[in-house]
Amino acid sequence: MSAPPTDAELLELADAAAARAYAPYSGFDVGCVVLARDGRVIEGVNVENAAYPLGVCAERTAFARAVAEGYRPGDFTVAAITASPCGGCRQWLHEMGVERVVFRNGGRVVTMTPDELLPESFDSSNLA
């Protein structure tokens, strides 16, 4: 069995995925890859729409694709994103229970946990 990809390698895969973004309105291509515990890498890109609010972020397409394939929250270790995750995607990252999030922000590469990205978050425990 081969070693899992490093965070740096995952970011490179996210960069490559971003080239397949559909972002004709913003011109801002985003790629996201998530690493599952079974070693699979699932890729997502942002997909925009002429009705602007209907566009979806790269993180959400990656996780929606993974869930459709059978993965569940807790099945993921890392999400690597070519941009700083927006507020809504921070909620998704929290829901999916990734261990860490690696992303580019300006010239930097930042690594944070979902809790650090979204402290005091709303989750299923708030529904009880």
Output the smallest distance, CB 1 to ligand THU, in A: 32
B/e letters for 103-125, b = 16+ CB within 10 Å, e = fewer, are: bbeeeeeeebebeebbeeeeeee
Output the smallest distance, CB 78 to ligand THU, in A: 16
Catalytic residue at 43? no
Scanning residues 63 to 102, which ones bind ligand THU (CB under 6 A)?
Answer: 83, 85-86, 89
The contact pattern for ligand THU, residues 20-49, with x = CB under 6 A and - = no contact, is ---x--x-x-x---------------x-x-
DSSP 97: T
Output the smallest distance, CB 53 to ligand THU, in A: 11
Residue among 35, 36, 28 nearest 12 (CA):
35
Question: Please, are residues 6 and 76 in contact by the beta-carbon 8 Å criterion?
Answer: no
Q: Name which of 52 and 120 has its Cβ closer to ligand THU.
A: 52
How many other β-carbons are positioned within 10 Å of the β-carbon of residue 18? Answer: 22
Residue among 30, 6, 4, 13 nearest 111 (CA):
6
Contact residues for ligand THU, defined by CB under 6 A: 23, 26, 28, 30, 46, 48, 55, 57-59, 83, 85-86, 89
Active site residues per annotation: 59
